[in-house]
A and B are shown apart, each in its own frame.
Chain A
Amino acid sequence: MLKVKDCHLSIAGTPLVSELSFEIDNGQVLTLMGPSGCGKSSLLNYLSGTLETGFEAKGCIELNQKRIDTLCTQNRNVGILYQTPLLFPHMTNLENLLFAIDAKQQGLTSANKKKLAMSKLAELGLETKANNLPNSLSGGQQARIALLRTLLSSPDYLLLDEPFSKLDPELRQSVRRFTLEQIQKANIPTLLVTHDEDDFTAMGGELIQMQNLSNHF
């Protein structure tokens, strides 16, 4: 479970987020909506440990009752997905997935590691494109691989920053469904930031509607 307690975010003395608290159970998705500039992305950066210099943060983040806000990104074990899939263009689709797997931590041999990555590609029906570069894939396929890559790094919680906003309306629905399936399968708490109410409807769970300088549940 991911727990955020009394989160305050400000930049140069101007408050962005104040007294925000919420909990997300494993396998659940909490959706964060609000106008531009209300601090959604800053909150996401705070949760991932990538808050830019100049921001001030107070509060506490707990993951499975352990405080993690003092840890750096590298040690938080967090998965992040952005608007663009950010598949590494110099690596093949298979290499992109292999990059995420920590064989040592997961107790895998290099052969098993490859098998695991190939099985994920097979889930998408993309095993024939394993050795192709990401630019050979459609937008929807790239989004799916990006999600699988993130989940292959075995994150303890997931942060989604408008991951469906750049997809065609027809694709969006199927990628949403796929994402929810994978989140429930991984059984990890997920925070989704979006402008699209349909995302919330599709993903279920709770909604936080943020406003500039104040937050309302």
Chain B
Amino acid sequence: MITLSISKFTLKLNGLATASRLITLLFILPIILGLVGTLLPAFDFLPALSHYQFSLKPWFSLFESPELWGSIKLTLLSGLLASFISFVIAFATISVFYESRWLISIRNTLAPILAIPHAAIAIGLVFILSPSGWIVRLLSPWLTDYERPPTWISVQDPYGLSLVLALVVKETPYLLFVILASLEQIKTCELIKVGTSMGYARIAVWRKVILPILYPLIRLPLLVILAFSLTVVDLSLVIGPNTPSTFAVTLFHWFNDTDLDMRFTASAGAVLLMFIILLSALCWEALYQIFVLFDRRRWCNGKRTSLLTPIFHGAAFTYLVSMLLAVLSLIVLPIWTFTHRWRFPDILPTSWSFKKIEQLAPLLFELACVSLVIAFASTLLALCISILMLEQKRTLPNSTRWFDRFIYLPIILPQVGFLFGIQVFLIWSNNSGSLLAVIGLHLLYVLPYVYLTLSGPYLAFNQSFYRQAVCLTKRPWHSFLQVKLAMLKPALFSAFALGIAVSFAQYLPTLTAGEGRINTLTTEAVALAASGERKKVGNMAMLQALFPLIIFMLAQWLPRVWTQYRLKLAKMITHK
């Protein structure tokens, strides 16, 4: 009997190991195909377009392009500036508000802001910051004398400053989230007490003690933000500069050029963009090390006060302003949705109407359904895969090392180049334009976030509960579902909500795999953003923001009331 159960157990473990290997392979394969599919055309090799010989032509064509250097300059400026400002604001905010009531309020606002897709926030910001936007309306005509919108350029400005602002508004909450999670790994409260008890000002303790300990823990998320800021397409299309645009947007236009030869130049550009990311990451890290080298002397100079205190307070205040902008940009979306007439400089519409939303209802319903189907399918798949991989990792920690290494790649690699490589494969395998392909590509981006969110709580789960349940019931699957997964409900719900939000935000993966035949709220909203049809765009962006927000709120609320409602239901059934 004992032999039998041991062999059964070994069989199950082997099954799990095989499944995890297969998943790793299926996850790594598209990444490699994407990379190869971009790298080969960069050297003029693409049999599908009858290019069979390697050459450097795409590179010559790339370097001859008049847009190149302007695009790269803008990309570096906006990407590095946005990442640096987000980091400074996030760190200063935590330093100033840590252990205060304010931090609880800040923490509570993080999830909703994180849930809302970048494009929706960007569209809202355009509605607020543009010359005919809310801010100018609020100040006109009593302060500005403007009876008509001014002619200045406050969004899509040539320096990319509005893009930097949009990135900061969206990335700072993510960094705050990451920093708060990392601070739980170090004895932050005690370290602050030790420092302040020696007479150091709080900000001095944060700079001299906490920052050097914290930085290694948030290095990877910072690099993810840097890579994202350098390569983002949808946000740049909505609020970024046009002539020239950022390099990722330029590449996006080249990839979609009717002249197929531009795809070779675009591929070379995508490879160059990868080098730019790598170089920027190295520069970022080198600058930090240089900063540490000079700052090290100040760590133990004994000075208890910090001259940076007012700067930290200013940066923390900036966070509150950026959150106000985010909230306003979300409020303005439904306002435009129900607007009939809204002339400048009126603060609110003079007449309201359901006409536009009625007209758009069939389209919105269709787009919402497609978005939800893709989001639910990719997130549920991601959850199942994550649970399976984490179960395997718990059993044999080393067995998922390849998966763990590759999981970050889709987030770090520039979507614009890497996805073109996958598109080549999708066309070759006759899968391009199918719903399945879109779900598959969304999964590539949803899985890393779901896996990373779930891994901490899943691996920290006290396995004794499960073992106890198996001993009592003799039913491993029942125990797994009724005890382990039930106890991990809050983490599972959070990971699910995050997965939905990530899927809703995907623009390029949907365009690449869907080939324009499958549209979501995000692809339509971004495509219409430049059209000037504010009512239509407002509708799309509002729904784009609304669904992830509802699911995030449900994910926070449901685990809290689940047991309470389950017990009430059980009581009702027993009474009957």
Q: Which residues of A contact B (CB under 8 A)?
A: 48, 50, 52-53, 72-80, 82, 84, 86, 88-91, 95-96, 98-104, 110, 113, 150, 153, 155
Q: Is the pair B300, A84 in contact by a Cβ cutoff of 8 Å?
A: no
Interfacial residues of chain B within 181-216, with CB under 8 A of chain A in the complex: 187, 189-191, 193-194, 196-202, 208-209, 212-213
B100 touches A113 (CB 8 A): no
Q: How far is A180 from B238 in the complex, measured between Cα atoms in Å?
A: 67
Give the complex CA separation of A43 and B189 in angstroms: 16
Asked if A100 and B198 sit within 8 Å, CB to CB, the answer is yes
Q: Report yes or no: B300 in contact with A98, Cβ–Cβ below 8 A.
A: yes
Contacts of B208 in A (CB 8 A): 99
Partner of B99, one of A53, A75, A79: A53
Task: Given contact pairs A50-B196, A73-B196, A95-B296, enumerate 18 new A-B contacts (beta carbons under 8 Å).
Answer: A53-B100, A53-B101, A74-B199, A75-B199, A77-B199, A80-B193, A86-B187, A88-B209, A91-B299, A98-B300, A98-B302, A99-B198, A102-B199, A102-B302, A102-B304, A113-B302, A150-B194, A150-B197
Contact with A along B480-509 (1 / 0, CB 8 A): 000000000000000000000000000000
B199 engages A153 (CB within 8 Å): yes
Task: Give Cα A150–Cα B196 distance, bound, in whole angstroms.
Answer: 12
User: For B100, what are the chain A residues with a Cβ–Cβ distance below 8 Å?
Assistant: 53
Q: Contacts A74-B196, A86-B187, A88-B191 hold; do A95 and B99 have CB atoms under 8 A apart?
A: no
- B397 CB to closest chain A CB, in angstroms? 22
CB-defined contacts of A82 to chain B, threshold 8 Å: 187, 190, 194
CB distance from A145 to the nearest CB of B (A): 13
CB atoms of A80 and B212 under 8 A apart: no
Contact B197 A104 (CB under 8 A): no
A98 to chain B, nearest CB (A): 4
Q: Which residues of A contact B202 (CB under 8 A)?
A: 74
List of 8 A-B pairs having minimum Cβ-Cβ separation, nearest first: A98-B300, A90-B212, A153-B198, A73-B196, A99-B300, A95-B300, A103-B302, A80-B197
Residue from B101, B190, B209, B300 whose CB has the most chain A CB atoms within 10 Å: B300
Main secondary structure of the interface of B (DSSP, over half): helix
Residues of B within 8 A of A96 (CB): 300
Nearest neighbor of B194 in chain A, beta-carbon distance:
A86
On chain B, the residues within 8 Å of A100 by CB distance are 198
Q: Which of B189, B199, B213 contacts A88 (CB 8 A)?
A: B213
Least CB distance from A117 to B in Å reads: 9
Q: Bound state CA distance, A106 and B200, in angstroms?
A: 15
> A-B contact count, CB below 8 Å?
75
Q: Bin chain B's interface residue count.
A: 20 to 34
**For residue B194, which residues in chain A have a CB less than 8 angstroms away from its CB?**
80, 82, 86, 150
Q: Which one of A50, A74, A91, A101 lies within 8 Å of B302 (CB-CB)?
A: A101
Contacts of A110 in B (CB 8 A): 301
Interface residues of B in 265-318 (CB under 8 A from A): 296, 299-302, 304
Is B198 a contact partner of A89 (Cβ separation < 8 A)?
A: no
Measured between beta carbons, the chain A residues less than 8 angstroms from B187 are 82, 84, 86
Residue contact A73 to B193, C-beta cutoff 8 Å: yes
**Which of A77, A78, A90: most chain B CB closer than 10 A?**
A90
Q: In whole angstroms, how far apart are the Cα atoms of A90 and B193 in the complex?
A: 17
Residues of B548-564 whose CB lies within 8 A of A: none
Q: Are B197 and A73 in contact (CB under 8 A)?
A: yes
For A76, the closest partner residue in chain B by CB is B197
Select one of B101, B197, B212 contacting A48, CB under 8 A: B197
Q: How far is the CA of A21 from the CA of B191 in the complex (A)?
A: 29
Give the nearest-CB partner of B191 in chain A. Answer: A86
Residue in chain B with minimal CB distance to A75:
B199
Chain A residue with minimal CB distance to B104? A53
Shortest distance between the CB of A208 and any CB in chain B (Å): 22
Residues of A within 8 A of B190 (CB): 82, 84, 86
Tell whether, in the assembled complex, residue A74 and residue B213 are in contact, meaning their CB atoms are under 8 Å apart.
no
With both beta carbons as reference points, the residue of chain B lying nearest to A91 in the complex is identified as: B299
Q: How far is the CB of A144 from chain B (nearest CB, A)?
A: 16
In the assembly, what is the distance between CA of A72 and CA of B196, in Å?
9
Q: In the bound complex, what is the Cα–Cα distance between A30 and B299 (angstroms)?
A: 34
22 contacts between A and B (CB under 8 A): A50-B193, A50-B196, A53-B101, A73-B196, A74-B199, A74-B304, A78-B197, A86-B187, A86-B194, A89-B213, A90-B213, A91-B212, A98-B302, A99-B198, A99-B208, A99-B300, A101-B302, A102-B199, A110-B301, A150-B197, A153-B199, A155-B197
The residue in A110, A113, A153 that gathers the most chain B C-beta atoms within 10 A of its C-beta is: A153
Q: A50-B193, A74-B199 are in contact. Are A99 and B99 (CB under 8 A)?
A: no
With a CB–CB cut-off of 8 A, which chain A residues contact B299? Answer: 91, 95, 99
A100 to B299, CA, bound (A): 10
Q: Output the nearest chain B residue to A99 by Cβ-Cβ distance.
A: B300
For the complex, what is the distance from the CA of A106 to the CA of B246, rounded to whole Å?
56
> Which single residue of chain B is at the shortest CB-CB distance from A113?
B302
- Min Cβ gap A8→B in Å is 22
- For B101, give the chain A residue with the smallest CB separation: A53
B200: chain A residues within 8 A (beta carbon):
74
Contacts of A53 in B (CB 8 A): 99-101
A99 to B208, CA, bound (A): 9
Indicate the member of B197, B200, B299 with the most A CB atoms within 10 Å: B197
Of A72, A77, A86, A103, most B-chain CB atoms within 10 Å:
A86
A89 neighbours in B (Cβ, 8 Å): 213
In the complex, what residue of chain B is closest to A94 when comparing beta carbons?
A: B300
Residues of B near A80 (CB, < 8 A) are: 193-194, 197
A48 near B199 (CB under 8 angstroms)?
Answer: no
Q: Which residue of B lies closest to A114 (CB)?
A: B300
Asked if residues A74 and B201 are in contact (CB atoms below 8 Å), the reply is yes
Give complex CA distance A80, B189 in Å.
12
- Kindly name the residue among A75, A95, A96, A99 whose own CB sees the greatest number of chain B CB atoms within 10 A: A99
B208-246 contact mask (Cβ, 8 Å, vs A): 1 or 0:
110011000000000000000000000000000000000
Residue of B nearest to A97 (CB): B300
Query: Known contacts A53-B100, A90-B212; is A79 also within 8 Å of B197 by CB?
Result: yes
Residue of B nearest to A79 (CB): B197
Complex contacts, A78 vs chain B, CB 8 Å: 197
Please indicate which of the listed interface residues B100, B187, B199, B304 has the most CB atoms of chain A within 10 Å of its own CB.
B199
Q: How far does the alpha carbon of A155 sit from the alpha carbon of B200 in the complex, in Å?
A: 13
Rounded to whole Å, the gap between the CB of B318 and the closest CB of chain A is 24
* Chain B contacts for A52, CB-based, 8 A: 99
Looking at the assembled complex, report how far the CB atom of A146 sits from the nearest CB atom of chain B, in whole angstroms: 9
